[in-house]
């Protein structure tokens, strides 16, 4: 295992967003709980600043939006209202069968998963 200090922020994000690892990687390798929480907090800050969908005000709603909202309501039927995609991701177990995280997230992006855009951006960041 690499020393904790060698993990960059992007590498921490990569691990948390990789379907096979998520936070279980850190826990399995004995990371202190506060370090794991810091990785999650940094990822959450990135999500909220740059990727989390913003609620629109009533002033921003047009007549075309009514039809869009209807289809969104149908698409979201049965899903928990008000849930945060990042919270849902972090609460779900790792998916150990995933070998190619970019392909996996790419399929989710095509299905409209709002967290997928951030995951693809982070997972495709070139290393040194």
pLDDT (tens, 9 = 90+) of the chain, 128 residues, equals: 444 454 587 888 989 999 999 999 999 999 999 999 999 999 999 999 999 987 655 555 555 676 666 666 665 555 555 689 999 999 999 999 999 999 999 999 998 899 999 999 999 988 76
How far is Cα of residue 2 from the mean position of the Cα atoms in its chain? 24
Region at 22 (left for phi over 0; alpha for psi -120 to 50; beta for the rest): left
8 A C-beta contact, residue 120 and residue 106: yes
Look at residue 17 and give its three-state secondary structure.
Answer: helix
């Amino acid at each position: 295992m690499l020393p904790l200090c060698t993990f960059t922020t992007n590498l921490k994000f990569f691990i948390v967003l990789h379907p096979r690892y998520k936070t279980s990687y850190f826990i399995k390798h004995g990371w202190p709980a506060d370090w794991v929480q810091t990785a999650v907090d940094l990822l959450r800050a990135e999500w909220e600043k740059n990727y989390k969908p913003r609620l629109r005000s009533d002033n921003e709603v047009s007549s075309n939006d009514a039809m869009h909202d209807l289809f969104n309501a149908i698409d979201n039927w049965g899903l928990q209202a008000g849930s945060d995609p990042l919270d849902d991701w972090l609460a779900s177990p790792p998916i150990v069968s995933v070998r190619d995280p970019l392909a996996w997230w790419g399929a989710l992006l095509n299905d409209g998963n709002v967290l997928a855009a951030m995951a693809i951006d982070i997972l495709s960041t070139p290393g040194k």
